[in-house]
Structure 1
Amino acid sequence: MDFYSTNNPEHRVSLKEAVIKGLAPDQGLYMPESIPVLSDSFFKRLPNLTFQEIGYEVIGELFGEDLEKDQIKELVDHTLAFDAPLVKVEEGIYSLELFHGPTLAFKDFGARFCSKLMSMLMEGEKRKVRVLVATSGDTGSAVANGFYKVPGVEVHILYPKGKVSSLQEMQFTTLGENISCLEVDGVFDDCQKMVKEAFLDPELNEKMLLTSANSINVARWIPQCLYYFYAFAKLPQLGKKLAVSVPSGNFGNLGAGILAQQMGLPIDVFIAATNVNKVVPDFLLGSVFQAKSSMPTISNSMDVGNPSNFFRLLALYGNDENELRDKVKGFYFDDEDTARAMQDVKNASGYTMDPHGAVGYLGLRNFLKIHPNEFIGIFLETAHPGKFKSVVDRVLGLELELPERLKAFMKGEKKAESLANDYSQFRQYLLDSAS
């Protein structure tokens, strides 16, 4: 299957070029030229399929023209090596827990898929691949651990100084080996801007092979659709319509859910739930999409003022803004709302949400209030609460016990270079690292 640029549908490339380049030359995001619709028989069998069996069929439909069956199986088995439980939180509301992977965040799925597929596609190549990653928290840890010690790959992670949790920071700055980290004096959007500038720099691209492992890369983005199918398979069939609320920052996760929907998955409505960085909810309420400087919140992984994947959302609906507004509902919440939701759910059910999951829960609750008794709902719990321990402890008045995997990261030594919010300095850093 070929992939086209969201900025120019006439620009088409192979799967290998889309994955290795990451971003189109015109700064567009790559999209599959067509979206396959799964058969009725697949959906009849869906409740009885394992996570891996779902993956074989869905990825087979999307990548079957480019990969052999044994490659698809190897790729899916590597990606789906852990569970994504669906947990009942209260009547009619379920949490899809996506934090059971190596770094305890949903991005483990996409990072493992991306690193494995990239190594498959680059087999036999003599050039070293340099992966550039901007992170607001969880992307850095997932990509660093997914690509750690992968032969022929160097990873450079840019993150905003003082704006990721200490645990998130330790998950990617303590590895070393082929993982290099740059602590940028700015916000996430500044990091993302520098990465995009590097992809468009002719001299850099002549001297080195650059790619991305952010959700702008199709290999990071597409596999996220798999857990939507799995969640639906595990959901009790109560004869109601289904609403899925996605806590959103760069909007790749929501886009992957819409991809699953367009492949035939019967999700009736998506909810885009954000913190006060609300450029997309504002758009969904009728405003013109306009990027803004991001504002810091306790749900820091969603502190994005210029979400790249917004243009994927549009592309999935044929660039019809009204269609997008009709099919996706937007809500936003401040830190006080988020903290109160964490407390209320903990007191009522004993369930501990992280701040991002709490935003997703709030989006769902607000939507269900508008449509009483009509929907059953799922919200995505995107990270283990322990990754935001200081916030969770303070909000809930407890001392959260960290899983052993998270404790191990805190014992490492931070290895990161400071970088000004200046593309020329980042450019020189890359040139020096290649010499």
Structure 2
Amino acid sequence: MKMNKDKDFILQLQAGQCVSCGICAESCAYGAIRMGDFPEVDEENCRLCGGCVQACPVGAWVMQRQDERQEQPVDDSNGIWVWAEVMDGALAPVSRELLGKAVALAACRPQPVEAVLIGGEVSAWADELIAAGADRVHVVESPLLSDFVEENYTEVLAGLVRKQHPSILLIGATPCGRGLSARLAAVLHTGLTADCTELEMDTDSGLLRQIRPAFGGNLMATIVNPVCRPQMASVRPGVMKARQKDTSRRREIVYHAYEAGRTDSRVRVLETVAEEVGGTSLNDSSIIIGIGRGVKTRRCADEIRKWAERIGATVAGSRAAVEAGLVDASVQVGQTGHTIAPDLYIAIGISGQIQHTAAITGARCVIAVNPDRTAPIFNVADYGWAIPVEEALPQFMNILNRCV
């Protein structure tokens, strides 16, 4: 149990006003307030619901607003940090991608690029991160951190940020990264721009321009955080490009001790269940064929799958194709689906609204097939073919037959 001795805890008792009436303890639905000479709050059980603040007849309990709390000084911050995610014994590819982007940002306004490794046995990945562009790697290794628990990882990362004062913190928008980034931003009282598709550095102000689709994907918003530090952004896997590895780089590795008492006792991982997913992952596919509303029949979609199988491609789809039942939601490409970066993307019957095109900017080559010559997909395609899908598919098959 951790009673509230922490001055940084959001809920604070103004002892000079308290009359020890005990009404707050009686009103707490979670049993988080204990009465002694004065009431004390159990921080582990407190849900910050504000019930005690409303119940107190003399206004002794206060919930501090964000602007009343001490923020990290902007002028004191320096460095671009990347959380290096290690799951199932492997370094997430998005970690290398973010390091590559961090190096590019640091070139615009010189500052160190640093990575943070947290887990049970993760130190072996430190050299890999240095080869990917990190100037310094912070390692927090403990058996207590073997299982990913948001509360524990947030405690570790927040502690490092408060000590080191990075200016920018980048996190991959993976299933684990999404929750961690949101919780961390709340703990550090800073902003978070989620699912960014581009990051830029303002060389004059040092502000990170965080760019992402907004208003349902109908426009691209550029967001900056001039007040709080670190400037936080999460980025979907596959959007950024990883740097070529340089195994000759030698940089600093800093090890930090983890205190067992900091583990959140309320949360334990009881079991991890691995689920097998058939087919090839979109992140591992060099050729992806995307189908959209223009593929009007299931028969046509099946023909595209046969063609894709013959050329070693993976079939994905737009949201319209998912809603029509032509592809599964697990292979949806777009703002509400996957972001991809294959060597070749063939968009068949896809109009190319910004919700979709924002997710294919990493593709090296885009071929678009659509009967509408004014379709937006042709604005981002390297090659376009204005022809109905039903007429294009037999010609694709004929070309394939001549090549094999």
Q: How high is the TM-score relative to the length of structure 1?
A: 0.27
Q: How high is the TM-score relative to the length of structure 2?
A: 0.28
Larger radius of gyration: 2
Structure number with greater CO (CA < 8 Å, separation at least 6) is 1
Considering fraction of residues, name the structure with more helix. Answer: 1
